[in-house]
Structure 1
Amino acid sequence: MKKENFMSMILGTIGGILFAIGMCMCMIKEWNTFNQGIVVGAVGLVVLLLMLFVRRKMQGKPAIKFNRKTVAIFILAVVGALVLGVGMCMTMVWQGLLMQGIIVGVIGIVLLQSLIPLCKGIK
């Protein structure tokens, strides 16, 4: 295993777990940890962003160039993740919205899958 893959795996796991725990802390009312959940989730996001920069540095690639395509891909990724998350909340947290939540979740998955041809292209 290459160093950049190992570092990405470690930082991705840590960041993903922190982000997931933070979101659980925000969503589960019985825990009474909304504010702490925001902090833990933000730390998870920072670790995930750090992973991106560390990986690019280890691969010898330049920093990310921000152009219209990069910004559009980022916005689509955020919207897709939010739509998928709302669909999950509708099915698991909010009462009586199972079918609507499944539909919203599938829309979120389709939005996230549309990132693949946008980033890699179709050959």
Structure 2
Amino acid sequence: MHRITGSHQVQFLDALHRDHVEVEDRVRTNKAMGLARLPSKSWRVNKGWVLTCNLAADLDAWLRLLTLHDDQELARAEPETMRLRIYHLPARLACHARRRLVRIERTWPWAQAFTTSWARLTALPALT
């Protein structure tokens, strides 16, 4: 690090530290998504588990980026908080007139956040 020009400056050290904090945050998120608990002693099973945990963490990050960006609390929430507020939805799936409806409990405090998120997801253009 001594051979890099400007590496002794405070701004360089601050940027280096911020990058490291971001990596630690992603590792903590992946562990909370299940990476901390490998299910088997088998390499093949654990390999699939790690892939699934990483996919869950990526989906969580994209959901926050695309749909919850304006909600300061949920945009930076931990995975456990997201599970409680968004993913474990107190709702019923109903079928009526050949349509599927999601009936969300009206007293649920995060119903508006979920419906806004869902509307933004369904409004995204389809990939071609």
> TM exceeds 0.5?
no
Pick the structure with more helix per residue: 1
Bigger CA radius of gyration: 2
TM bucket normalised to smaller: 0.3 to 0.5
Q: Whose strand proportion is higher, 1 or 2?
A: 2
